[in-house]
Amino acid sequence: MKTLIAANWKMNKLPSESEGWARDFLAQLQDTPHDHADIVLCTPYLHLTSLNTLLVASPVRLGAQDVSAHDEGAYTGEIAAKMLFDVGVNYVIVGHSERRAYHNESDALIRDKVERVLATDMVPILCVGEVLEQREGGEAKKVVLGQLEAGLEGLEPSDAARLVVAYEPVWAIGTGQTATAEDAQEMCSAIREALTTRYPNFGKDVRVLYGGSVKPGSAAELFSQNDIDGGLIGGASLDVASLLGIVGGAA
Ligand code: PEP
């Protein structure tokens, strides 16, 4: 299975800046071995249409950072899955800890979003992760596996084969404090076990990512762990050289 490197730009860069960034990235990607990696740029919604024109013939795929759980209709300010698909999006981050914390997204809503993304022929990147108090209280595994089970509740198993899960300990996001490779591996292995129990036919093929302050210097060790199939990259994905360094870490 190829290593998946998903960049999460969050609410950064202007649409007009993103095109120059993507041109630079594609030019320099040619000099970086990347056959072993699938690369996805999850940008703000406004950047997607123009980036799709630039990326459509490239090896880089396009992702969104959120989606509505509804199909269409009177939901002011929301973006439907089919709108994302229409502008060339292949991946959608669902249940990021910033959405859970700042927008009170519940497990039930996140599950509906996962279902909507799968029904629209895109790949959900379902984010799960514990906060520091939960880790310190010895509850990290229970919390993470609880979020996983709730996020997948009742989904059609054949659809779920396309799923990606990202383990993102909240205390490691944007803090510069990466989980040790051993801790990240231990949790990703527990996630894999839960997926294999839930989906005996393909659970082992679901890609499980680690996210939380991954940098070029830490990527290779993280990605070499048995149950870590790539990374969800926030801050370090904003800079061309740094994201390319992380792609290099997947070799
Ligand atoms: C993220 O927001 O998904 C993330 C992992 O951010 P960072 O790499 O900046 O910790």
Give this prediction's pTM: 0.97
CA-proximal residue: ligand 1, atom 2 (nearest)? 234
Average pLDDT over residues 63-83: 98
**pLDDT value of position 37:** 95
**pLDDT value of position 95:** 98
Q: How far is CA 249 from the centre of its chain?
A: 17
pLDDT in tens, 136-177: 999 999 999 999 999 999 998 888 889 999 999 999 998 988
| Helix axis angle, 140-152 to 181-198, nearest 10° | 40
Atom of ligand 1 nearest to the CA of 214: 8
Residues 6+ apart with CB under 8 A from 43: 9, 13, 18, 51, 62, 63, 64, 65
Beta strand 123-128 with 37-42: parallel, antiparallel or unpaired? unpaired
> What residues are labeled active site?
96, 168
Give the end-to-end CA distance of the chain in Å, rounded to a whole number: 12
pLDDT in tens, 217-233: 999 999 999 999 999 99
- Per-residue buried b or exposed e for 209-220, using 16+ beta carbons within 10 Å of the residue's own CB: bbbbbbbbebbe
Atom of ligand 1 nearest to the CA of 236: 8
With a 6 Å cutoff on the Cβ, whether 65 touches ligand 1 is no
Q: How far apart are CA 145 and CA 237, in angstroms?
A: 27
**pLDDT value of position 73:** 98
CA-proximal residue: ligand 1, atom 3 (nearest)? 234
With a 6 Å cutoff on the Cβ, whether 129 touches ligand 1 is no
**pLDDT value of position 178:** 86
For residue 238, report the phi and psi dihedrals to the nearest 5 degrees: -80, -15
Structure tokens, 151: 């996020």
Say if CB 60 and CB 74 are below 8 A apart: no
Residue % of the chain over a pLDDT of 90: 91
| Helix axis angle, 15-29 to 48-55, nearest 10° | 20
**pLDDT value of position 77:** 97
Q: How far apart are CA 74 and CA 44, in angstroms?
A: 22
With a 6 Å cutoff on the Cβ, whether 235 touches ligand 1 is yes
Band (33; pLDDT cuts 50, 70, 90) = confident
